[in-house]
Amino acid sequence: MQRLKDKVAVITGSSSGFGRAIALSFGREGAKVVCSDVRREANAGGFEEDMQLPTDDVIRGNGGQAAFVKCDVTKNKEVADLVTAAVGKFGRLDVMVNNAGVYRGGKLMHEFTEEELDICLKINVKGMFFGSQEAVKQFLKQGSGGNIVNLVSTAGLGAYPRQSVYNISKGAAANLTRSLAVEYGQNQIRVNGICPTYCKTSLTRALFDDKAFDKAFTESIPLKRWGEVEDVANLAIFLASEESSYIHGDMIEVDGGERLSRYSV
C-alpha cells in the first residue's frame, strides 16, 4: 500500500532514531521526503543496521524520492529555509514531522544546570514551535489543509523522576500541539502528538546497555520489552495518512502500557 503516495513530508532530526525510521517508512509509503538534521550522518551508537548510509540515500536506494537539507531547528531562519527548500524541490508541503529533540536526565531538579535546561527548551520547544509555525504558514498559503505530527513523549503527559528539564520541555510540546489543533483545525490542518517511552535509539544506548536499568525498565512495562523505532514510525504513517482523518489534537502513547504499569501483575 502507498498510503502517503505523492505527499511531500519534511522530517526534522531524520538522520537517526525515530526520525530516520519515520523517513524510511514514509518513503516506502510513497511520500516525497525532505530529510533534515544538523548532520547528514547517523549518530554513533545507534541501532540502525545501515547507519553508514545517510537516510536520504537509503530512501532513494529503495526507489523513493528524497532530499537532504541541513537545518538547526533552534534557528527560525533555517527552519523557514527548510520549508522553502522542500516546496522548491517538490512543489508543496503536506506533512511536517517535528521530530528533532534532545534528552537530559539522571539528576534531581536542583542538580541540573541552566545550560541543560536551555538546550531542552531550545530544541524540544522552540524547534517544534518554529517547525509548526513555518508549516502552518505554508499550509495556509496553499489553502488545502495540512498535517503536523509532533514527537512529544510520555514525559509530556506526566512527571518522571530525575529528568525534570526534559519533562518541562515535553509538557510544553504537548500543550503546543493542543494549541495548534484548537487554532488551525478550522483550516483543515490536523495536528497530533506521538508520545513514546524509552525506545532503542542512540539517545538511550547507555540506558539500554545498563543491565540494571534494562531489567528494571523492562519489568515496569506490561509488554515486557523496549520500544522499537518502527513502533513509532508505524503510528506516524497512520497519523500522516487519510486513515486518521478525524483524529485531531490527540497525544497518542506508544509505551507498551507503561502508564498503566502500576496495575500490572
Q: What is the C-alpha separation between 122 and 133, in angstroms, rounded?
A: 15
Taking residue 217's Cβ as centre, other Cβ atoms within 10 Å add up to: 18
32-75: pLDDT as tens digits: 999 999 999 998 888 988 889 999 999 999 999 999 999 999 99
Q: Which residue in the list 103, 160, 166, 246 is annotated as catalytic?
A: 166
Closest CA to 205 of 20, 14, 48, 46: 46
Record the pTM. Answer: 0.96
Q: Where are the alpha helices (DSSP H) in 93-155?
A: 114-120, 127-142
Cell numbers for 179 = 494549541
Place of cell 548532520: 39
pLDDT of res. 265:
44
* Strand arrangement, sheet containing 65-70: 65-70, 32-37, 8-12, 95-98, 146-151, 189-196, 251-254
Taking residue 44's Cβ as centre, other Cβ atoms within 10 Å add up to: 9
**CATH 2.115.10.20 corresponds to the domain 8-263:** no
* Residue 166 annotated among the catalytic residues of the structure: yes
pLDDT of res. 43:
87
Spatial neighbors of 230 by CB under 8 A, at least 6 apart, are 21, 25
110-119: pLDDT as tens digits: 999 999 999 9
Place of cell 526507489: 63
Confidence of residue 262 (pLDDT cuts 50, 70, 90): low
